[in-house]
C-alpha cells in the first residue's frame, strides 16, 4: 500500500513522523463517454452560452454568485493569498471522548503509519487513545484544503478521520427526529425480539456489490465476443404487509423467522 501523505503529528511538544494511507478505495468500473461516429474520447469543452463560443482556459476567471447580485470576481493571486499553508503537519488542538463524535460528522478515513522513525511513540499514542477512549481533534492540510480531523484508535490500527465543520452538518428534519411520545410497550418488546432474531455478526463479504459485479461480467463478455449473460440477480421476495398495523406486521415477521 502506497502512502499518499507524509508529515508529522504534533501533540503539545511531541512530534511524530507519520504516513497516511487511504483506508478504503472505490472499486467501481469506470465508463467514459466517446463519440459514436469515430469511437474516440470526447473532451469537456468550456462553452459560454451568452457569447455562443468556446472559451480557452486563459479566458476564465473565478467568481462568487449570490442570487441576483452582481458576481464578485476573484483573481488567482487573491485566492492564493488566503490558501492554507501546506505545512505537512497535523496539530492536535484538544482531546475529546471518542463517543462524543457521532459517525455523522466523519468524512474519510486514513490509516496512520510510522515513518522511518517514531514507531514506538506512535504505538504509545495509539495505546493511550484506545485505553482512554479519546480522539485528538485538530487541523490538517490535504490536497491544498485545510480540514478538521480526528486522530483515534480502532481495535487494530491508528486512524485519522477528516470531519465536517459545524455548519456542514444539517439538523434532522421533523419527520426523521426521534418521536417524543412513549412507544407501545407490547410493540416495543416484539420489535426488539424481531431485531434480535435478524441479528448476526457483520461480515462485509456477505454483501456483494451486485451492479458492479454484473457490469464487470458484461464488459468481459463484450471483450470475448460472447453474448452477455442475463444474470441480473433476483430481488428478495417482498411479501405483502400492512404498515398500518405495526404489531401484526412484527408478529407475522417473527412467525416467518420461526420465532413466534
pLDDT 10s digit of each residue in the chain, 260 long?
899 999 999 999 999 999 999 999 888 888 888 999 898 998 888 999 989 999 998 899 999 887 777 888 888 889 888 887 778 999 999 999 999 999 999 999 999 999 888 899 999 999 999 999 999 999 999 988 899 999 999 999 999 999 999 999 998 887 666 666 666 788 889 889 998 998 988 888 887 878 888 888 888 888 888 877 766 666 666 666 555 688 888 888 888 888 76
How many residues does this entry show for the chain? Answer: 260
Query: Of 240, 231, 238, nearest to 208 (Cα)?
Result: 231
Q: What is the pTM of this model?
A: 0.80
Q: What is the pLDDT of residue 235?
A: 66
Q: What is the pLDDT of residue 19?
A: 96
For residues 55 and 120, give the distance between their C-alpha atoms in angstroms, rounded to a whole number.
Answer: 55
The helix/strand count (H/E) of the chain reads as 5, 11
Q: What is the pLDDT of residue 240?
A: 61
For residues 75 and 115, give the distance between their C-alpha atoms in angstroms, rounded to a whole number.
Answer: 38
Q: What is the pLDDT of residue 233?
A: 61
Q: How far is CA 168 from CA 17, 43, 101, 164, in A?
A: 31, 33, 14, 6
Kindly report, as residue ranges, where domains of CATH 2.40.290.10 are found in the chain.
Answer: 5-26+84-168
- Give me 213's grid cell: 459485479
- Phi (first) and psi of residue 7, to 5 degrees: -175, -150
Could you tell me the fold of the domain covering 5-26+84-168?
Answer: Ku70; Chain: A; Domain 2 (2.40.290)
Amino acid at each position: 500500500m502506497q502512502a499518499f501523505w507524509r508529515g508529522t503529528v504534533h501533540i503539545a511538544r511531541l512530534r511524530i513522523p507519520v504516513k497516511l494511507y487511504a483506508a478504503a478505495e472505490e472499486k467501481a468500473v469506470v465508463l467514459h463517454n466517446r463519440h459514436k461516429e469515430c469511437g474516440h474520447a470526447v473532451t469537456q469543452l468550456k462553452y459560454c452560452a451568452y457569447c455562443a463560443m468556446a472559451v480557452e482556459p486563459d479566458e476564465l476567471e473565478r467568481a462568487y454568485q449570490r442570487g441576483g447580485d452582481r458576481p464578485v470576481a476573484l483573481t488567482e493571486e487573491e485566492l492564493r493569498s488566503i490558501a492554507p499553508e501546506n505545512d505537512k503537519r497535523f496539530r492536535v488542538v484538544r482531546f475529546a471522548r471518542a463517543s462524543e463524535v457521532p459517525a455523522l460528522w466523519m468524512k474519510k478515513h486514513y490509516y496512520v503509519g510510522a515513518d522511518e522513525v517514531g514507531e514506538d511513540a506512535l504505538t504509545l499514542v495509539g495505546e493511550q487513545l484506545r485505553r482512554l477512549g479519546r480522539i485528538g481533534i485538530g487541523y490538517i492540510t490535504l490536497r491544498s484544503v485545510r480540514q478538521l480531523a480526528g486522530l483515534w484508535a480502532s481495535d487494530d490500527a491508528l486512524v485519522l478521520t477528516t470531519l465536517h465543520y459545524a455548519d456542514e452538518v444539517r439538523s434532522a428534519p421533523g419527520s426523521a427526529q426521534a418521536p417524543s411520545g412513549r412507544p407501545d410497550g407490547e410493540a416495543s418488546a416484539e420489535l426488539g425480539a424481531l431485531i434480535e432474531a435478524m441479528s448476526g455478526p457483520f461480515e462485509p463479504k456477505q454483501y456483494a456489490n451486485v451492479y458492479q459485479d454484473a457490469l464487470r461480467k458484461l464488459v468481459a463478455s463484450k471483450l470475448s465476443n460472447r453474448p452477455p449473460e442475463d444474470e441480473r440477480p433476483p430481488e428478495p421476495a417482498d411479501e405483502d404487509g400492512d404498515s398500518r398495523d405495526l404489531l401484526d406486521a412484527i408478529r407475522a415477521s417473527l412467525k416467518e423467522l420461526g420465532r413466534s
